[in-house]
Structure formats: structure tokens, C-alpha cells
Structure 1
């Protein structure tokens, strides 16, 4: 049986009647942010930001598949007001937010990849700390009902899994791509993630209608 919040989010899924005009300026802000990186030839930042964003898409697809597999609930759902719900736990506002967050996460990196903070590589420290901050934001969103959790292994009493699977891989991937010495390798990794996302959406969404 479908959980109430999951049913509420599912009812909003890809319904264009909820469109709001604020989406357009938000989209332009994202385009501006990436355009600024391109204009300054900060290709490592741009590609790392895209890697971060694509990692979220993979998580969201897996989350939607969890709902399909169980028939009960995804790990997280977005049943609240939104201009457009893309997947059961991903609305347009979240999608655009992650596009910007990836750029921010990379721009705050120290220039020296080998620099240590408290004896630990700065990339690992920042990935861990930023992931904690993201989990705290999710706590706030959950408290107001904008982001809902139904499973005992993904809720306030089990934050480590949200931290470990929900955010840490995003930051680690972005930092890994950013620090690659080869531009070709950076592009290959980002392109591979993009192909994986598009293939999964085409298969599970377009062909099988599971998500």
C-alpha cells in the first residue's frame, strides 16, 4: 500500500498545471552561474559542478525505483508545493538548487589538493562537513513537511545513511573531477555520467514507465 506522503507526491508527478513563473529566473541564474565559469575559463569548476548535478540525478532515479520495487514509498518524497515535480523525490526547485550547489562546493576548495586540515586531506574534510550541513538542511525540510521520509533506515534516527549515500558521493565525485589533471578525462567522466542518467531515464521512465 502506498504511503500517504508518497501518494501525495505521486499525484503531483509531472503535472504541468502547477507551473510558476519563478522557475524561469531561477533557470537563468543557473545558466548565468555556469556561463561565468565558462567566461573565466574555469572548466574544472564547470565540469565538477555538472558531475555533482548528475550524481543527484542518479540518486533520484534510484529513489524512484525504490518506490516502484516496494510499492510503499521512496526513501524521500516531495509532496509539498512545487512548480514541477520531475521524479517522486525531485522537483524543479531541487534540481536547479543542486546545479548551483555543485559550483559552490568546488569554488570553496583550497587551491592545493594535498593541503591537510586537522591532519586529513582537505577534500575529504570539506566533503564530510558539507554533507553534514546538507543533512541538517534536510532535517529542517522534513520538519515542515516539504521533504518526507517513511523508512526506518532513512529518517531522523538514522542520519548517517542520508550523509553517506545522500550527499557524500556527490561532493567526492565533484572534487575528484575538479582535481583531474587531464581535461579529456574530466569530460569523459562527466559525459559517462550524463549517458548513464539519460539511459536510465529513457529505460525506467520512457520505456518501462516505472518512474
Structure 2
């Protein structure tokens, strides 16, 4: 295994790494969701919550298959986050990243125009902002990779034109397209079914991987 993989695995889900700053971050996430749910119950529109949970759920799926890559190759995941953290939840995931993705979908949703059909530069504004948020996220990841906080091991997933395109498409754009998809479902039932499907896949994969197979990732 690579040095980054071994370093990440050495402190995987180690509760002794917890830091006090997790508490106010958790409180902020809870506050934002409670506020969104309260507003949503008044208006009958919980799309901000659905967008937030969708982005997080798709990231949960990404982090799960990324962990499977580590185990199946016995070398490295596509991305590894071996740096300092308050809690490393998977080899490429930590508590800080989790909090960020819990809020990213809500931020994206509130960036949208009231008229979801309104276009920006010829694109539906949800798609425009999905591209914008994804591009900005890749820009931030570039610096995290440069600083050694986020390791990209494979030549097709690195700081190259092709690598950046893959990271843009599968590392971020799918998250916001998923959020766009769920908020356009016509009924609350359809939105809940979509959300359940999104979360069921990584949950099942982790039951198989961590639970049945005993893999560590």
C-alpha cells in the first residue's frame, strides 16, 4: 500500500483524534437544518433539505466505492485524506469534509433563482450553478492536493486536464445534478423514494464491505 494509505488507515475512526471544534461545527449544521425544516414546514417546500441530504448522500456513495478501490487494489483509493483531522471516517473522508457536504447542497439550492427555468448564459440556472459550484470545488481540491492534504494516486485522477475533468464530473457535478433531479420530483413521496435509494446503495455496500467482509477502509 502507498504511504498515504497506510497513514490514513493507521488512524481510521480513531475517537482519540476528536477535537473540541467538532462541537460548534456540529451545532451549526444542526441549526441550519432545523431552520430549513422549520421554514419548509411553513411553506410546504423542503427542497433545501432534500438538496443538502442528496449531495451528502452521493458523497457517501463516492467515499464508499473509493474505499472499496483501496481494498480491492491493496494499494490506494482514488483519493486519500491522510492529513490532520478531528476524525477520519474513511480513507478519503473525514468529519470536516462531511460537515461541508451536508451544507454544500443547501448553499447551492439557495443560489438558485426563484424561477428554476430561468437561464444563465443559455443554461438552466440550476445547471449553471451546478457547474459553478463543481468548478470551484475542484479549484479548492487542487490546493488541498498541492498541500498534501488530499492525495491523488492514479494518473487518470490527478492534476492533469483529463484528471481534473474526471474529478469535476464524478467528484462534484453528479452531486449537484442529483440535487437538481430530486428537487424537480413532483411529489414528496417521489423525493423521499429518491433519497432512500441514494442512501441505500452505500449503506448496503458498507454492510457488505465493513460488516460481512470485515474490510477496513
Q: TM-score range by the shorter chain?
A: over 0.9
Verify: 1:184 aligned to 2:186, yes or no. Answer: no
Q: Aligned residue for 2:202?
A: 197
My pick for the range that moved more, 180-189 or 90-99, is 180-189
**Corresponding position of 2:25:** 26
Query: Partner residue of 1:163?
Result: 168
Contact 1:47–1:177 (CA under 8 A) maintained in structure 2: yes
Query: Paired residue for 2:54, among 48, 51, 65?
Result: 51
Establish whether residue 80 from structure 1 lines up as the match of residue 83 from structure 2.
yes
**1:174-211 CA-partner distances (Å, limit 9, x unpaired):** 11112222111111111222222322222211221223
Select between 129-138 and 6-15 the one with higher mean Cα deviation: 6-15
1:103 aligns with 2:106: yes
Q: Quick one: distance in 2 between partners of 1:203 and 1:111?
A: 42
**Structure 1 ranges of 4+ moved more than 4 A:** none
* Aligned equivalent of 1:134, options 112, 133, 137: 137
Counterpart Cα distance in 1 of 2:53 and 2:67: 21
Alignment deviations for residues 114-138 of structure 1 (CA, whole Å, 9 cap, x no partner): 2111112222211112111000000
5 Å-filtered alignment, 1:59-74, equals 59-74=62-77
Contact conserved, 1:114 with 1:121, CA < 8 A, in 2?
A: yes
The 8 Å contact of residues 25 and 99 in structure 2, kept in 1 or not, is answered as: yes
Q: How many residues align?
A: 210
TM-score (norm 1): 0.96
**Alpha-carbon contact 1:113-1:179 (below 8 Å) kept:** no
Q: Structure 2: state its 5+ residue gaps.
A: none
TM-score between both structures, scaled by the size of structure 2: 0.93
